[in-house]
Amino acid sequence: MTFYGIGTGPGDPELLTLKAARILRSVQRIFYVAGPSTRESLSRVIASAAGKEAEGKLRKLEFSMAHDMADRRHSWQANAQAIAAELGAGENCAFATIGDPMLYSTFVYILPLVKELIPNLAVEVVPGITSFQAAAAAGAFPLAMNDEILSIIPAWHSDTLERPAAADADTAVFLKTYRSRDAAVDFSARHYKGDFLYAVKVGRPEERFCTNRALLKDLPEEYLSLIISKKRKANDGLD
Protein backbone atom coordinates (compact mmCIF):
# COMPACT_ATOMS: atom_id res chain seq x y z
CA MET A 1 0.00 0.00 0.00
CA THR A 2 1.03 3.60 -0.61
CA PHE A 3 0.17 6.80 1.22
CA TYR A 4 -0.11 9.80 -1.10
CA GLY A 5 0.05 13.44 -0.06
CA ILE A 6 -1.87 15.30 -2.76
CA GLY A 7 -1.66 19.04 -3.27
CA THR A 8 -4.99 20.12 -4.74
CA GLY A 9 -3.98 23.70 -5.51
CA PRO A 10 -5.44 26.94 -4.16
CA GLY A 11 -9.11 26.56 -5.02
CA ASP A 12 -9.70 26.32 -8.75
CA PRO A 13 -10.34 22.65 -9.68
CA GLU A 14 -8.71 23.32 -13.06
CA LEU A 15 -5.41 23.91 -11.25
CA LEU A 16 -5.39 20.32 -9.96
CA THR A 17 -2.47 18.63 -11.72
CA LEU A 18 -2.97 15.72 -14.08
CA LYS A 19 -0.91 13.48 -11.79
CA ALA A 20 -2.93 14.45 -8.72
CA ALA A 21 -6.21 13.76 -10.54
CA ARG A 22 -4.98 10.38 -11.77
CA ILE A 23 -3.95 9.27 -8.28
CA LEU A 24 -7.19 10.52 -6.71
CA ARG A 25 -9.12 8.38 -9.18
CA SER A 26 -6.96 5.31 -8.58
CA VAL A 27 -6.70 5.10 -4.77
CA GLN A 28 -9.21 3.29 -2.58
CA ARG A 29 -9.62 6.11 -0.02
CA ILE A 30 -9.25 9.90 -0.11
CA PHE A 31 -8.95 11.72 3.20
CA TYR A 32 -9.65 15.43 3.37
CA VAL A 33 -9.30 18.03 6.11
CA ALA A 34 -12.17 19.77 7.87
CA GLY A 35 -12.42 21.89 10.99
CA PRO A 36 -15.08 21.43 13.69
CA SER A 37 -17.22 24.22 12.22
CA THR A 38 -16.36 23.70 8.54
CA ARG A 39 -19.46 23.76 6.34
CA GLU A 40 -17.68 22.78 3.13
CA SER A 41 -14.10 21.57 2.82
CA LEU A 42 -12.27 23.18 -0.09
CA SER A 43 -9.97 20.17 -0.46
CA ARG A 44 -13.07 17.95 -0.74
CA VAL A 45 -14.58 20.14 -3.46
CA ILE A 46 -11.39 20.05 -5.51
CA ALA A 47 -10.76 16.32 -4.97
CA SER A 48 -14.31 15.59 -6.15
CA ALA A 49 -13.49 17.39 -9.39
CA ALA A 50 -10.97 14.66 -10.23
CA GLY A 51 -13.90 12.61 -11.54
CA LYS A 52 -16.78 10.42 -10.46
CA GLU A 53 -14.29 7.68 -9.55
CA ALA A 54 -13.07 9.90 -6.69
CA GLU A 55 -16.42 10.97 -5.26
CA GLY A 56 -17.30 7.73 -3.48
CA LYS A 57 -13.90 7.41 -1.81
CA LEU A 58 -13.94 10.62 0.22
CA ARG A 59 -13.67 10.52 4.01
CA LYS A 60 -13.61 13.57 6.25
CA LEU A 61 -10.98 13.95 8.96
CA GLU A 62 -11.86 16.58 11.53
CA PHE A 63 -8.90 18.48 12.94
CA SER A 64 -8.82 20.72 15.99
CA MET A 65 -8.16 24.40 15.28
CA ALA A 66 -7.71 25.22 18.98
CA HIS A 67 -4.81 27.32 20.26
CA ASP A 68 -4.05 24.52 22.73
CA MET A 69 -1.30 22.45 21.08
CA ALA A 70 -2.15 19.41 23.22
CA ASP A 71 -5.64 19.43 21.73
CA ARG A 72 -4.22 19.70 18.23
CA ARG A 73 -1.76 16.86 18.80
CA HIS A 74 -4.60 14.68 20.05
CA SER A 75 -6.54 15.22 16.81
CA TRP A 76 -3.41 14.58 14.72
CA GLN A 77 -2.83 11.29 16.53
CA ALA A 78 -6.46 10.17 16.24
CA ASN A 79 -6.56 10.95 12.53
CA ALA A 80 -3.20 9.27 11.93
CA GLN A 81 -4.62 6.12 13.50
CA ALA A 82 -7.69 6.30 11.24
CA ILE A 83 -5.46 6.60 8.17
CA ALA A 84 -3.15 3.81 9.34
CA ALA A 85 -6.14 1.50 9.83
CA GLU A 86 -7.12 1.85 6.17
CA LEU A 87 -3.53 1.53 4.98
CA GLY A 88 -3.09 -1.53 7.19
CA ALA A 89 -6.02 -3.16 5.41
CA GLY A 90 -4.01 -2.95 2.19
CA GLU A 91 -5.69 0.15 0.78
CA ASN A 92 -3.85 2.84 -1.16
CA CYS A 93 -4.84 6.12 0.46
CA ALA A 94 -4.51 9.79 -0.45
CA PHE A 95 -4.50 12.81 1.85
CA ALA A 96 -5.87 15.78 -0.10
CA THR A 97 -4.79 19.21 1.06
CA ILE A 98 -5.17 22.65 -0.48
CA GLY A 99 -2.03 24.29 -1.81
CA ASP A 100 1.10 22.17 -1.56
CA PRO A 101 1.48 19.30 0.95
CA MET A 102 4.96 20.42 2.00
CA LEU A 103 4.15 24.06 2.76
CA TYR A 104 2.24 24.91 5.97
CA SER A 105 0.04 21.88 5.46
CA THR A 106 -1.70 19.54 7.90
CA PHE A 107 -0.08 16.71 5.94
CA VAL A 108 3.38 17.48 7.37
CA TYR A 109 2.06 16.80 10.88
CA ILE A 110 0.16 13.66 9.91
CA LEU A 111 2.87 11.98 7.83
CA PRO A 112 5.42 11.25 10.61
CA LEU A 113 2.66 9.94 12.88
CA VAL A 114 1.39 7.54 10.22
CA LYS A 115 4.97 6.41 9.53
CA GLU A 116 5.42 5.67 13.23
CA LEU A 117 2.43 3.34 13.03
CA ILE A 118 3.56 1.78 9.72
CA PRO A 119 7.39 2.08 9.63
CA ASN A 120 7.94 0.68 6.12
CA LEU A 121 5.14 2.66 4.54
CA ALA A 122 5.60 3.74 0.92
CA VAL A 123 4.97 7.48 0.59
CA GLU A 124 4.58 9.68 -2.47
CA VAL A 125 3.98 13.42 -2.36
CA VAL A 126 2.41 15.21 -5.32
CA PRO A 127 3.08 18.95 -5.31
CA GLY A 128 0.31 21.48 -5.74
CA ILE A 129 0.11 25.08 -6.89
CA THR A 130 0.21 27.40 -3.89
CA SER A 131 -2.16 30.27 -3.22
CA PHE A 132 0.56 32.88 -3.63
CA GLN A 133 1.68 31.45 -6.97
CA ALA A 134 -1.91 31.58 -8.21
CA ALA A 135 -2.37 35.11 -6.84
CA ALA A 136 0.82 36.29 -8.53
CA ALA A 137 -0.33 34.76 -11.82
CA ALA A 138 -3.81 36.32 -11.54
CA GLY A 139 -2.30 39.74 -10.87
CA ALA A 140 0.59 39.38 -13.36
CA PHE A 141 2.75 40.10 -10.32
CA PRO A 142 6.39 38.90 -10.61
CA LEU A 143 7.39 37.13 -7.41
CA ALA A 144 11.14 37.35 -8.02
CA MET A 145 13.42 38.57 -10.79
CA ASN A 146 17.13 38.13 -11.43
CA ASP A 147 18.83 37.76 -8.00
CA GLU A 148 15.90 38.90 -5.86
CA ILE A 149 15.15 37.03 -2.63
CA LEU A 150 11.63 35.80 -1.92
CA SER A 151 10.48 35.39 1.69
CA ILE A 152 7.38 33.50 2.88
CA ILE A 153 6.02 34.74 6.21
CA PRO A 154 3.30 32.94 8.19
CA ALA A 155 1.21 35.96 9.16
CA TRP A 156 -1.51 34.36 11.26
CA HIS A 157 0.62 35.42 14.25
CA SER A 158 1.77 39.04 14.15
CA ASP A 159 4.89 38.23 16.19
CA THR A 160 6.43 36.59 13.10
CA LEU A 161 6.73 40.11 11.69
CA GLU A 162 9.24 40.88 14.44
CA ARG A 163 11.75 38.34 13.17
CA PRO A 164 14.71 40.08 11.47
CA ALA A 165 14.42 37.95 8.33
CA ALA A 166 10.89 39.22 7.68
CA ALA A 167 12.19 42.58 6.45
CA ASP A 168 15.27 41.36 4.58
CA ALA A 169 13.83 39.98 1.32
CA ASP A 170 13.11 41.73 -1.97
CA THR A 171 9.60 40.25 -2.12
CA ALA A 172 7.58 39.14 0.90
CA VAL A 173 4.59 36.81 0.89
CA PHE A 174 2.40 37.09 4.00
CA LEU A 175 0.19 34.01 4.26
CA LYS A 176 -3.15 33.76 6.10
CA THR A 177 -3.34 37.36 7.24
CA TYR A 178 -6.79 36.97 8.81
CA ARG A 179 -5.58 37.57 12.38
CA SER A 180 -3.01 40.27 11.69
CA ARG A 181 -3.85 41.85 8.36
CA ASP A 182 -3.54 45.46 9.51
CA ALA A 183 -0.19 44.73 11.16
CA ALA A 184 1.03 42.99 7.99
CA VAL A 185 -0.15 45.91 5.84
CA ASP A 186 1.63 48.42 8.07
CA PHE A 187 4.76 46.25 8.09
CA SER A 188 4.76 46.01 4.30
CA ALA A 189 4.28 49.77 4.00
CA ARG A 190 7.41 50.33 6.10
CA HIS A 191 9.67 47.66 4.61
CA TYR A 192 8.24 46.87 1.16
CA LYS A 193 7.30 50.14 -0.50
CA GLY A 194 7.02 48.84 -4.07
CA ASP A 195 4.29 46.76 -5.70
CA PHE A 196 1.53 45.48 -3.40
CA LEU A 197 -1.16 42.84 -3.84
CA TYR A 198 -3.80 41.63 -1.38
CA ALA A 199 -5.68 38.49 -2.42
CA VAL A 200 -8.66 36.66 -0.91
CA LYS A 201 -9.97 33.16 -1.77
CA VAL A 202 -7.68 32.78 -4.77
CA GLY A 203 -9.03 30.43 -7.41
CA ARG A 204 -12.60 30.51 -6.14
CA PRO A 205 -15.49 32.29 -7.91
CA GLU A 206 -15.55 34.84 -5.06
CA GLU A 207 -11.82 35.66 -5.28
CA ARG A 208 -10.90 39.32 -4.77
CA PHE A 209 -7.75 41.39 -5.25
CA CYS A 210 -6.66 44.81 -4.03
CA THR A 211 -3.51 46.77 -4.89
CA ASN A 212 -4.19 49.79 -2.67
CA ARG A 213 -3.24 49.42 1.00
CA ALA A 214 -5.46 52.32 2.05
CA LEU A 215 -8.62 50.58 0.85
CA LEU A 216 -8.09 47.48 3.00
CA LYS A 217 -9.08 49.13 6.27
CA ASP A 218 -12.70 49.16 5.07
CA LEU A 219 -12.71 45.45 4.16
CA PRO A 220 -13.33 42.56 6.57
CA GLU A 221 -10.46 40.20 7.36
CA GLU A 222 -10.67 36.85 5.58
CA TYR A 223 -9.23 33.44 6.48
CA LEU A 224 -8.00 32.50 2.99
CA SER A 225 -6.07 35.71 2.43
CA LEU A 226 -2.52 36.75 1.63
CA ILE A 227 -0.36 39.74 0.83
CA ILE A 228 2.50 39.98 -1.66
CA SER A 229 4.68 43.06 -1.39
CA LYS A 230 7.91 44.13 -3.07
CA LYS A 231 10.62 46.60 -2.11
CA ARG A 232 10.46 48.14 -5.56
CA LYS A 233 8.14 48.21 -8.51
CA ALA A 234 8.62 45.48 -11.09
CA ASN A 235 8.86 48.03 -13.92
CA ASP A 236 11.79 49.79 -12.22
CA GLY A 237 14.10 47.38 -14.05
CA LEU A 238 16.99 45.31 -12.72
CA ASP A 239 19.77 47.91 -12.57
User: Which pLDDT tens digit goes with each residue over 33-79?
Assistant: 887 666 678 888 888 888 878 888 999 898 877 677 888 888 899 99
Residues of the chain with CATH 3.30.950.10: 131-236
Give the dihedral of Cα atoms 159, 163, 166, 169; nearest 10 deg: 180
Q: What is the pLDDT of residue 39?
A: 65
Q: Is the pTM of this model over 0.75?
A: yes
Residues of the chain with CATH 3.40.1010.10: 2-126
Q: Is the dihedral of CA 199, 200, 205, 210 positive or negative?
A: negative
Angle at 213 between CA 155 and CA 151, to 5 degrees: 35
What does the pLDDT look like over 97-140, one tens digit per residue? 999 999 999 999 999 999 999 999 999 999 999 999 999 999 99
Q: Which CATH number does the domain 131-236 belong to among 3.40.190.10, 3.30.950.10, 3.40.50.2020, 3.40.50.720?
A: 3.30.950.10
- For the chain, list the strands marked E by DSSP: 2-7, 29-34, 58-62, 93-97, 122-126, 150-154, 171-175, 196-200, 208-210, 225-230
Q: Which CATH number does the domain 2-126 belong to among 3.40.1010.10, 3.40.50.720, 3.40.50.1370, 3.30.300.30?
A: 3.40.1010.10
Other Cβ atoms less than 10 A from the Cβ of 196: the count is 20
Q: Give Dmax (Cα) for the chain.
A: 60
Closest Cα partner for 202 from 239, 184, 228? 228
Share of the chain above pLDDT 90, in %: 70
Pair 166, 158: CB distance under 8 Å: no
Q: Is the dihedral of CA 207, 213, 217, 218 positive or negative?
A: negative
For helices 69-88 and 107-117, what crossing angle results, to 10°? 50
Share of the chain above pLDDT 70, in %: 95
Q: Is the dihedral of CA 115, 118, 122, 127 positive or negative?
A: negative
Burial of 169 (0-12, 13-18, 19+ CB in 10 A): buried
Angle at 187 between CA 205 and CA 66, to 5 degrees: 60
What does the pLDDT look like over 136-153, one tens digit per residue? 999 999 999 999 999 999
Q: What is the pLDDT of residue 159?
A: 86
Other Cβ atoms less than 10 A from the Cβ of 34: the count is 16
Collapsing DSSP to helix, strand or coil, 152 comes out as: strand
- For 148-220, list the strands marked E by DSSP: 150-154, 171-175, 196-200, 208-210
Contacts of 67 (CB under 8 A, 6+ apart): none
Contacts of 162 (CB under 8 A, 6+ apart): none
The better pLDDT of the pair 22, 235 is held by 22
